[in-house]
Structure 1
């Protein structure tokens, strides 16, 4: 077998296997007793965000990602950021929504930790306490500087993942590690094909998010082919794969969030 066929075979396995795992974890038609559409899909709180009223003097920042609605959920996620300053008793949420208006950056479009059309969000970053008010200042500045506030393309971007990746680049203190199935996080215009990765702590070269490579402490080493991410995380050993995001050790930020939330609820 020639080298080209071997490479093609490996790429096919790397694509089909993660998709099969994603399909097995979320088989079609098993999540609801009645037919579900975007109109009646659950959007209630997932109970992940700590009660803001119980932490009146504590600033909080969290970044979430949940499977997108419908068949796209087998391939991609939708992320958003929430925060509250010390002294606040409610959260502010920001994400990019591709429908319902010309300006795609939305404030408080849904509940801070609400299910995304039936999909439970996972925590990508969780910061609380000292220094977080200053982090929120930088997050708000990053939101204001987002270069595509009136532009949206589901594939290859700019989209909701492009938006949150922009925040991560502008606020390295977030330590944001976006999963491999966050399609659009690697979107870069032709005028700026090289720059910081979405963690703000690595480097990236990418052509419109369709072909590129990323290397960083948070991301490890990841290759992008037609918007699909393949790589390995050395910091918290795991494979970075399309469809499922990662296979291996949990992300550290996501790992500590449930315990921290439980502690906050107990205060």
Structure 2
């Protein structure tokens, strides 16, 4: 029988499905408590690697975060379990929400008075994926300099630590648009602009196309940087090498996939 505590560090975009899944898992194992800590995947991985955080399991929004920061010293391998895609979220109250769409969003965002944002690329994969989407849109729409023009229109204060922070800003009206994952938009009931598959980082068959986008972010150690090339959004998990409760972690992994069927 599993007992004690299972500590799971995870991407913020997994909060809603994990809440349901962990409740089901605890019901199957009454002697076990699952404690969850959500955050930006890149920041959480650095916390594990530095020893600032001890966890049994780490669930990342980007498989490469695990492979680049944690394998092999802090985790044996990354196990993929789900996919996602990038969308541009908004509410009915967003400026020009009545006319924005997949063919003109990149013209609406830089318009006067429009407030839009994304999460911090150094902390959250959704942040560097947002920058990749801008680069891919420049190529797809044949608009040289588009990514730079868009970034010039984004106010610095609209780059927030986590994508979940952006959702709160959308809902209180201080942002008109925010880059998020499609799963989160659906879970939160947000309107969103769906992008062409060659731009949205949602199709693994298009990884050669996505690889044209390149973003540099903070590395595992102070002063280091990592070059990240565009690739389809693939979520992955890792069993941490110093897991305090490895038996519970393995049981969680074995039970995981059916719980995320609707992600």
TM-score by length of 2: 0.25
> In proportion to residue count, which structure has more helix?
2
**Higher RCO (CA < 8 A, seq sep 6+):** 2
